[in-house]
């Protein structure tokens, strides 16, 4: 045992961190939640939410803890993105970071926590200057999100439980930074038979109102085995 311990001691130690890219959708734009960095180096600069992995927790547990501390939310959809280990990525020390992206309903994030953590939502197309390699993390996470939403219903994590077809199309357009033909998009989405049409209408956007829908998770789980494609 002692020889194994000595072998470990002969190697450099590195800090292990977790950085979380948190996406939200305001009905028009896809946004990322950023905070003002509270410690050196680059204190006061815009940053992703993150922290160091503690000795008694896994990387996934660290990401869950950080997301909960900084959003107050549990059961958040999150997915490990990539390991960022460039030697000089952090000017203070050798820090290896495991990045995660998470999806939350933008209205679920409280004003109190926004103030406590000096947090602010930024549209992905209007990002401020970020510390370290955080801009690259956001770029990769958006690309991963674009890949995932074609075959997995994770986009519904960004919408209210009840939504209109217009809101759903706006979300996909924001994710891909493009526009879709309304008729073709509606036809494709409805053909999947994964939306439950309600008797309720959303009347804020028009006098006539638009019918509200809900995502049918059970139907999706049944169809997913057949290689379902959303778009």
Give the residue extent of every domain in the chain. 7-148, 153-226
Tell me the CATH number for domain 153-226.
1.10.10.10
> What is the pLDDT at residue 3?
59
pTM above 0.85, yes or no: yes
Which band of pLDDT confidence, cut at 50, 70 and 90, is reported for residue 21? very high
Which band of pLDDT confidence, cut at 50, 70 and 90, is reported for residue 162? very high
Contacts with 2 (C-beta within 8 Å, 6 or more apart), sequence order: none
* Paired strand residues for 17: 52, 97
> What is the pLDDT at residue 2?
59
> What is the pLDDT at residue 128?
96
**C-alpha distances in angstroms, 221 versus 95, 147, 179, 198?**
39, 19, 28, 21
Range 202-221 average pLDDT: 83
Range 133-139 average pLDDT: 97
Give the gyration radius of the chain's Cα atoms.
20
CA angle (192, 213, 205) in 5-degree steps: 125
Burial string for 56-90 (b: 16+ CB within 10 Å, else e) reads eeeeeebbbebbeebbebeebebbebeebeeeebb
Q: Which CATH superfamily is domain 7-148 in?
A: Nucleoside Triphosphate Pyrophosphohydrolase (3.90.79.10)
> What is the pLDDT at residue 10?
79
Same fold, 7-148 and 153-226: no
Cβ atoms of 28 and 121 within 8 Å: the answer is no
Cβ atoms of 112 and 119 within 8 Å: the answer is no
CA angle (53, 74, 64) in 5-degree steps: 15
Which band of pLDDT confidence, cut at 50, 70 and 90, is reported for residue 12? confident
> What is the pLDDT at residue 4?
59
Q: Between these two residues, 60 and 202, which has the higher pLDDT value?
A: 60
For 62, the token pair is 């660290």
User: pLDDT tens digits for 76-130?
Assistant: 999 999 999 999 999 889 999 999 999 999 988 877 888 888 899 999 999 999 9
């Amino acid at each position: 045992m002692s020889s194994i311990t000595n072998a470990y001691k002969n190697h450099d130690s590195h800090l292990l961190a977790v950085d979380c890219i948190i996406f939200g959708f305001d009905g028009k734009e896809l946004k990322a939640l950023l905070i003002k960095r509270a410690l050196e180096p680059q204190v006061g600069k815009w940053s992703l939410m993150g922290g160091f992995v503690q000795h008694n927790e896994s990387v996934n547990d660290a990401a869950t803890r950080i997301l909960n501390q900084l959003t107050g939310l549990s059961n958040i959809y999150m997915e490990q993105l990539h390991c960022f280990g460039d030697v000089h990525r952090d000017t203070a020390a050798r820090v290896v970071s495991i990045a995660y992206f998470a999806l939350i309903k933008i209205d679920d994030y409280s004003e109190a926590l926004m103030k406590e953590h000096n947090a602010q939502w930024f549209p992905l197309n209007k990002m401020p200057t970020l510390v370290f390699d955080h801009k690259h993390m956001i770029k990769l996470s958006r690309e991963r999100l674009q890949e995932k939403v074609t075959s997995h219903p994770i986009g519904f994590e960004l919408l209210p439980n009840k939504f209109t077809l217009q809101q759903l199309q706006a979300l996909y357009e924001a994710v891909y930074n493009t526009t879709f033909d309304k008729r073709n998009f509606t036809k494709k989405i409805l053909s999947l038979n994964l939306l439950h049409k309600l008797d309720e209408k959303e009347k804020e956007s028009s006098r006539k109102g638009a019918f509200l829908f809900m995502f049918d998770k059970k139907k999706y789980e049944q169809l997913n085995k057949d290689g379902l494609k959303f778009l």
